[in-house]
Amino acid sequence: MKFHAMLISSALVMWSCSPTIENSQSFRDTPKSVEQIQANLVSESSPAPLQCDLGIKAFETSVYKMVRSQCIACHETGPGPTFAVADINASYARLINYVRFQNIPQSYLVKKGGNQHCKSYGVDCGVDFNRVTAEIQNWWSGGESQCPSTAKNRTEELEMPKNLAKGQHQTMKWDLGTVNPSLANNFLEVEVERFTEPANGQEGSFRFGRPRLMAGGSNLYFRALRFVQNGNLVAKADSYSWIERTIGRNESPVISGAHQILIEEKSNADRVALAFDELSLVGPKKCLHQDVFEKNVYSAMVDRNCFACHAGGPDKEKGIPLAVKNFDMSGTLDRLCGSSLARADSLFPTLSPLISYPLRRANGHPGIFASPGEVTPTWTDWIGSEKD
């Protein structure tokens, strides 16, 4: 409970800070390098990165100490992007996006932070490539390497499918048994397509969507799905990093309606793994408030006749094949409550696929609700009430 409350409040703080980062972009007039695009990639719906105390502690005595003493002339209130701020959590959340712990010398923070650009703005900040590299190394070995988000729960690497084309999805499927043999028979499937082709010396990019967790014979709990590209955790690829969910056995819900873009690093040779902050088999999970579900959610499903496509409901509809395959709403109320919960986010209820599909037409879903007021607070109250 306390944990959830903390996450939400830090998310709000970071959301309210992000316009500062946005504004500072206009300061630049040079064309953006790929690293800059990567460092600045903003995903469609990413409330906040999850942080780890050990990582923050190590950050405090290494990179944070350096930027607070050598870089504040321009990076506390500008004109450069404001990452050397007094709020250590805000500073951490920004700087971690400039770092590749698995290949520190290639980090944007090294290349840009050690290149003495301060001199071209009239200040000698006295920091070179070696110094930045050493401070990031201290951050990593002093604690960040023990954070679950950067080190644990990684799947096997898969090669990106060759010949990806725009608008033509291919499916990638990771066996979660490669994270840990006890997780055999659970899979994460995601669709991927080409987003941009490489052109004029700029790398291309991929777009992922419809991530689907396929639980085997046990219930599966996960928190924070992240991407690892060629061995490096891509901190900016955070579209799914705030999701926390328990998936009932034999369920395979889409876990988000949002997309994630990755910049291609090696032409037709990128390898991608997934990482979870937490991933484990758990005991049975049932709806705690089926009465609230019936009153607040089921009634609207009947009103809007979701069942015409998804099957079930009072008239025992047959539905249409694709909708039934992806989300079969037939059967008992208990079952529907559980499979709806598997498509709901307790931390950020309005971002739930259960809501984003029919309200915001995620992935081209028919628009069933015309305004957010039709699902808030009724649906979001139910989702909130299910948080244990």
366 interacts with ligand HEC by CB under 6 A: yes
311 interacts with ligand HEC by CB under 6 A: no
207 interacts with ligand HEC by CB under 6 A: no
36 interacts with ligand HEC by CB under 6 A: yes
192 interacts with ligand HEC by CB under 6 A: no
SS3 141: helix
What letter would DSSP give residue 295? I
From the list 22, 23, 79, 217, which residue makes contact with ligand HEC (rule: CB under 6 A)? 79
Q: What is the spatial distance between Cα 124 and Cα 79, in angstroms, rounded to a whole number?
A: 16
Taking the complex as a whole, the smallest distance from the CB of residue 236 to ligand HEC amounts, in Å, to: 11
Structure tokens at 212: 């689907």
From the list 59, 64, 92, 98, which residue makes contact with ligand HEC (rule: CB under 6 A)? 98
- Which residues, at least 6 apart from 379, have a Cβ–Cβ distance to it below 8 Å? 296, 297, 300, 349, 354, 355
**Of the candidates 340, 318, 314, which has an alpha carbon nearest to the alpha carbon of residue 327?**
340
Q: What is the spatial distance between Cα 335 and Cα 71, in angstroms, rounded to a whole number?
A: 56
263 interacts with ligand HEC by CB under 6 A: no
Taking the complex as a whole, the smallest distance from the CB of residue 63 to ligand HEC amounts, in Å, to: 8
Taking the complex as a whole, the smallest distance from the CB of residue 129 to ligand HEC amounts, in Å, to: 11
SS3 259: coil
From the list 263, 341, 368, 383, which residue makes contact with ligand HEC (rule: CB under 6 A)? 368
**Of the candidates 97, 109, 88, 100, which has an alpha carbon nearest to the alpha carbon of residue 43?**
97
73 interacts with ligand HEC by CB under 6 A: yes
Closer to ligand HEC at the Cβ: 5 or 322?
A: 322
From the list 323, 337, 341, 344, which residue makes contact with ligand HEC (rule: CB under 6 A)? 323
- Applying CB under 6 A, the span of 114-122, 144-152, 165-173, 288-296 interacting with ligand HEC comes to 114-122
From the list 304, 315, 367, 377, which residue makes contact with ligand HEC (rule: CB under 6 A)? 304
Q: What is the spatial distance between Cα 223 and Cα 20, in angstroms, rounded to a whole number?
A: 28
262 interacts with ligand HEC by CB under 6 A: no
Q: Which helix H or strand E contains 247, and what residues bound it?
A: strand 244-247
Closer to ligand HEC at the Cβ: 277 or 345?
A: 345
**Of the candidates 150, 145, 142, 118, which has an alpha carbon nearest to the alpha carbon of residue 63?**
142
- In the chain, % helix, strand, coil (3-state, to 5) comes to 40, 20, 40
Cα–Cα distances (Å) from 386 to 186, 277, 295, 299, 374, in that order, read 24, 22, 14, 18, 20
Kindly determine how many residues on this chain lie close enough to bind ligand HEC according to the rule CB under 6 A: 46
Dihedrals φ, ψ of 254, to 5°?
-70, 135
- Where are the alpha helices (H) located in the chain, listed in sequence order? 2-25, 34-40, 53-61, 63-70, 72-75, 88-95, 108-113, 117-120, 129-141, 148-151, 290-293, 299-303, 307-310, 321-326, 333-341, 353-360, 378-385
What letter would DSSP give residue 294? I
113 interacts with ligand HEC by CB under 6 A: yes
32 interacts with ligand HEC by CB under 6 A: no
SS3 312: strand
358 interacts with ligand HEC by CB under 6 A: yes
Taking the complex as a whole, the smallest distance from the CB of residue 272 to ligand HEC amounts, in Å, to: 22
74 interacts with ligand HEC by CB under 6 A: yes
From the list 55, 253, 312, 349, which residue makes contact with ligand HEC (rule: CB under 6 A)? 253
Closer to ligand HEC at the Cβ: 94 or 154?
A: 94
143 interacts with ligand HEC by CB under 6 A: no
From the list 85, 354, 382, 383, which residue makes contact with ligand HEC (rule: CB under 6 A)? 354
| CA 151 to chain CA centroid, nearest Å | 16
Taking the complex as a whole, the smallest distance from the CB of residue 294 to ligand HEC amounts, in Å, to: 15
Q: Which residues bind ligand HEC (CB under 6 A)?
A: 27-28, 36, 39, 67, 70-71, 73-75, 79-81, 98, 108-109, 112-113, 117-118, 121-123, 125, 127, 253-254, 301, 304, 306, 308-310, 322-323, 326-327, 343, 353-354, 357-358, 363, 365-366, 368
